[in-house]
Amino acid sequence: MEETRVPEINVKQEFYRSTEKFHVIACWVGMALNIVWFLSDYFVIPHYWIPFFIFRASVTGISLAVLLSRKITGVNIYTCMFILVLGISIQNAYMWSVMDISHFQKHAFAYMVLFIGVGMLVLWELRLSIILLIATIISNIAFYILNSKLTVDEFIINGGLLTFTVAVFCVFLIRTRYRLTYREIKSRLELAKSKEIIEEAHIEVVNQKKEITDSINYARSIQESLIPLETHFTKHFKDSFVLFKPKDIVSGDFYWIYEKNNIVFYATGDCTGHGVPGGFMTMLGISFLNEIVEVKGITTPSEILNNMREKIITTLKQHGNFGESKDGMDITVCSLDKNKKEFQYASANNALYIIKAEKAGHGQELEIYRADKQPCGFYLLPKPFTNNIIKLEEGDAIYTFSDGFPDQFGGPTGRKYMHKQFKEVLLQNAHLNFTEQKNLLNASFENWRGKQDQVDDVLVIGVKV
């Protein structure tokens, strides 16, 4: 097989040839957009638009000079792209440092988009990604010390930590895509040279799949660091469980919990999509809940959802235009006052069930508490979310859930599980402790699913007063 191998220098030449044009176009588009965005600066922060424009013009001018002179200087297109991205990152760090908290939060999404876009478009060696990450951290610290009036907590909670997380993920994404592209080009050249390399190409595909899986697994580790462990969740209640079954490695469902003054706040969320796209939305959802409840101190579930909706619409720049993102989430936010046994909730689309202590058992009724029929996100006819207050008694059980469980296909005819059967299983097992309830729910789901693929993320939370 040695005679079928292509020299590394040939592979690199083909790599540069096949990706150069794309990076040149990306460079031109990036410079143009960087200048065009000064219009937003002018209308959003008019008293800073001049220094912002000077910074943008400087970054674009330097990048343009390097790009146009690269054939004379010998600078490759990847270095040109790196100079542009580095300049925009430092430029954003400066912008952050002079913003108040409201503008800082809005600009955080633009900063994250920069790194997400770089991760999806750029192909360069690992060292450039590491240099970019280090320079971004240093410039943010330096400009923060020089200009920012925000506290360290405000800086971190309102976008700093989340942006850093996305930047780290960007490093791994670029590295994976670079290696995958490089190996794909190498395999293609070897296949063109000889049919004997087919078996080796198969091994390459297996390795590529592993690298993609490893990359997504890293995304999962980021998500898991934000979603609480079940043990952390259940310690807040007398008896509870969390049945959490992501469809893919990364989940579009999430849950969240926070306790203050013996009042427990928790949420059951179902974001648009699943997998990596849904995972990005869960990161935003958890970040927003932490800010709204922990930082701003908003404790009424309906107001929490109203604030969540506003933040989602603002962050994703949703105006109802054709073709724009309609991402959002179905979510139930609850608060339980352990002393008063008072339960409050507000919900976007997903109902919740309560089984009263004296009604638990076979053949007893399950009480359904309705949700507002609107998502937490852009909606053509939005209305304020309804706040519901329920007086509970010792032993009452509350169940919140996403639609993944009742929507699962299976059974002897391949139909949906449906809410009716879901309620029946809850009632039949309501007399058991919550560990047994969780195990029986999971067994019922798996038996129904059988050999069918799981169609969506599954999340069911049970809490006993």
Tell me: pLDDT of 457 over 70.
yes
pLDDT of 276 reads 67
- The domain limits of the chain are 2-222, 228-464
Confidence of residue 369 (pLDDT cuts 50, 70, 90): very high
- Taking the whole predicted model, whether its pTM rises above 0.85 is answered as no
pLDDT of 150 reads 82
β-strand partners of 241 = 462
Tell me: pLDDT of 31 over 60.
yes
When pLDDT is averaged across residues 9-34 and rounded to a whole number, the result is 84
Strand order in the sheet with 397-401: 239-245, 458-464, 397-401, 352-355, 367-369
Confidence of residue 15 (pLDDT cuts 50, 70, 90): confident
Tell me: pLDDT of 356 over 90.
no
pLDDT of 307 reads 94
When pLDDT is averaged across residues 270-276 and rounded to a whole number, the result is 71
Tell me: pLDDT of 2 over 70.
no
Least confident piece of the model among 35-39, 295-299, 357-361, 375-379: 357-361
pLDDT of 363 reads 52
CA angle (323 as vertex; 172, 306 as ends), nearest 5: 80
Tell me: pLDDT of 211 over 80.
no
CATH number, domain 228-464: 3.60.40.10
pLDDT tens-digit profile of 39-84?
Answer: 777 777 788 888 888 888 998 899 999 989 988 888 888 889 899 8
pLDDT tens-digit profile of 130-150?
Answer: 898 898 889 988 988 998 888
Tell me: pLDDT of 203 over 80.
no
Confidence of residue 326 (pLDDT cuts 50, 70, 90): low
Residue 366, phi then psi, degrees to nearest 5 = -110, 130
Closest C-alpha to 147, from 80, 48, 74, 62? 48
What phi-psi label fits residue 450: left (phi over 0), alpha (psi between -120 and 50 degrees) or beta?
left
